[in-house]
Amino acid sequence: MQAGYSSVMVDGSHLPFEDNIELTLAGVALAHPAGVWVEAELGAVPGDEDVSTDAAPAQAMTNPSEAAEFVERTGVDALAVAVGNVHGLTTTPVSLHLERLAAIWDAVAVPLVLHGASGLPDHQLRGAIRRGVAKININTELRQAYLAAAATVLPSVLASHDSVALWRAGREAVTTAAVRSILTLAGRHQPLTSTL
């Protein structure tokens, strides 16, 4: 916040319910006086954000009534939920529990957040948006795009020691993948015509 961030994430999802509330309240007490928006997480999203493979299927999902109590007691500005989503990719298909997501959306008065959205079908992601999800975190596809671009240009940049060209290729691939995801979620399937 001192560095100028306008929002922060408080993740106490690994804690018991009351401890998660206590941690989140401490974050809100620091952030709100500074005009900073707080996102918190309730429910366990399985997997590893850094490895992105072999995530176990979701087990502990967000309970709608607990979500309502959590939001009311903490005063958070957004709530990340567990509704079948996982960090990384799984060997078995992942499916969002859209009915549970709708029940959570009916129970809380803040935007919902979906962590671990990589690999989910487009129609499910659009269904999540219709059920209150205002922010979708996609990491694995961006990492895959970066690594594929880096692998492609690596032989040519090794000879010239051009690390900037390597980084540029990765950055452009991530930009293309991110814009493609945004257009897909917006229901627009047009090709990317320019780089950012």
Long-range contacts of 63-66 (CB under 8 A, 24+ apart): 64/100, 64/103, 64/104, 64/106, 64/107, 65/107, 66/17, 66/42
Least confident segment among 27-36, 117-126, 131-140: 117-126
pLDDT above 90 coverage of the chain, percent: 56
What are the boundaries of each domain within the chain? Answer: 7-138, 139-196
Give the pLDDT confidence score for residue 189 in this predicted structure. 57
- Phi and psi based region of residue 51 (left: phi greater than 0; alpha: psi -120 to 50; beta: remaining): alpha
Give the pLDDT confidence score for residue 144 in this predicted structure. 86
Query: What does the block give as tokens for 149?
Result: 């671009």
Give the pLDDT confidence score for residue 108 in this predicted structure. 97
What is the edge-to-edge ordering of all strands in the sheet holding 133-136?
A: 7-10, 37-42, 78-81, 112-114, 133-136
Hey, what CATH class is 7-138 in? alpha beta
Rounded Cα–Cα distance for residues 92 and 191 (Å):
30
What digits encode the pLDDT tens for the residues 18-67?
A: 999 999 999 999 999 999 999 999 987 655 454 444 444 456 789 999 99
Hey, what amino acid is at 151?
A
